[in-house]
């Protein structure tokens, strides 16, 4: 019993057990792991840069550097690199982190997946609309679609089809804030939305806007406007918002 309750047992064993495992490293979160990898690549780049700079300095004089001095210089360069990293580095780590986050963030559970858009117009199997992708001039990072409206304005269309086209609503594809609305020539309307997922939508269509105002918070599926009976197409451009564009 003395071995269990004495100084060498009991509480002493617990303290020994506690001290043994108190130093165990904590598990890092996926976000911390991405940060560590980004910092590692930046430091590797800085070390290679220091080596390249050292190689441009030629030794001169009567006394040549020995092996110990070369090792000291390498250790000194490593010390400089570590201190640069502690002070925020040169920004390369942040760039790498953003790229890794965009590519692997959803897979690693760090970044919420972008919800599938409901679309500015219904695009289900029964829909008469057809989307054709195209490259918007001057917007290399954007994805643009021309959504054709098959039944609208067709010759000989019954009054019921024309009336349905006139009532067809243009909706917000994701949650966001209305940046602005603008009337263009030929009864065209342009609507811009900054979405909560970091994307930005621009829609141009023939018709009018609904009772929405600039700066208004929108939910996915909220009505932005209505197509006119003679509308043939709706143009929808999706591009990264200001915070998601890589530097």
Residue 159 above 60 pLDDT?
no
The rounded distance, in Å, linking the Cα atoms of 44 and 36 is 12
Q: Which residues of 153-170 are buried (b: 16+ CB within 10 A; e: fewer)?
A: beeeeeeebbebbeebbb
Domain that holds residue 87: 25-104
Structural domains of the chain, count: 2
Domain match, 231 and 141 both: yes
Residue 60 above 50 pLDDT?
yes
Last residue of a domain, one of 69, 104, 139: 104
Last residue of a domain, one of 61, 89, 104: 104
Domain match, 98 and 166 both: no
Q: Are 85 and 43 in contact (CB under 8 A)?
A: yes
Domain match, 156 and 226 both: yes
Q: For the whole model, what pTM was predicted?
A: 0.51
Assigned domain for 87 exists? yes
Q: What confidence score (pLDDT) does residue 139 get?
A: 67
- The confidence band for 85, taking pLDDT boundaries of 50, 70 and 90, is confident
Assigned domain for 118 exists? no
Assigned domain for 111 exists? no
Domain match, 95 and 133 both: no
Assigned domain for 15 exists? no
Assigned domain for 247 exists? no
Q: What confidence score (pLDDT) does residue 154 get?
A: 41
Residue 19 above 60 pLDDT?
no
Best CA proximity match to 35, nearest among 98, 113, 128, 83 = 98
Last residue of a domain, one of 104, 120, 151: 104
Assigned domain for 20 exists? no
Q: Are 154 and 174 in contact (CB under 8 A)?
A: no
Q: Are 146 and 136 in contact (CB under 8 A)?
A: no
Assigned domain for 40 exists? yes
The rounded distance, in Å, linking the Cα atoms of 105 and 24 is 27
Residue 6 above 60 pLDDT?
no
- The confidence band for 46, taking pLDDT boundaries of 50, 70 and 90, is confident
Q: What confidence score (pLDDT) does residue 153 get?
A: 40
Residue 162 above 50 pLDDT?
no
- The confidence band for 201, taking pLDDT boundaries of 50, 70 and 90, is very high
Mean of pLDDT over the chain? 77
Residue 112 Cα distances to 15, 30, 108, angstroms: 43, 14, 10
């Amino acid at each position: 019993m003395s071995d269990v309750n004495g100084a060498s047992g009991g509480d002493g064993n617990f303290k020994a057990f506690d001290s043994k495992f108190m130093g165990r490293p904590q598990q890092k979160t996926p976000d911390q792991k991405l940060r560590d990898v980004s910092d590692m690549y930046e430091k590797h780049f800085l070390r290679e840069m220091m080596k390249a700079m050292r190689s441009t300095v030629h030794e001169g004089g009567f006394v040549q550097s020995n092996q110990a001095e070369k090792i000291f210089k390498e250790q000194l360069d490593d010390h400089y690199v570590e201190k640069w990293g502690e002070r925020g580095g040169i920004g390369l780590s942040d760039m790498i982190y953003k790229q890794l986050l965009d590519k692997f963030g959803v897979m690693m559970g760090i970044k919420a997946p972008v919800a599938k858009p409901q679309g500015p117009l219904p695009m289900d199997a029964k829909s008469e609309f057809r989307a054709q992708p195209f490259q918007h001039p001057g917007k290399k990072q954007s994805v643009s679609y021309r959504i054709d409206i098959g039944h609208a304005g067709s010759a000989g269309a019954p009054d019921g089809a024309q009336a349905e086209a006139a009532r067809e609503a243009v909706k917000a594809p994701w949650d966001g804030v209305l940046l602005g609305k603008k009337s263009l020539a030929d009864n065209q309307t342009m609507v811009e939305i900054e979405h909560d997922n970091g994307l930005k939508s621009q829609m141009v269509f023939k018709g009018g806007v609904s009772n929405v105002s600039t700066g208004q918070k929108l939910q996915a599926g909220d009505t932005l406007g209505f197509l006119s009976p003679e509308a043939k197409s709706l143009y929808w451009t999706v591009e990264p918002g200001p915070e998601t564009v890589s530097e």
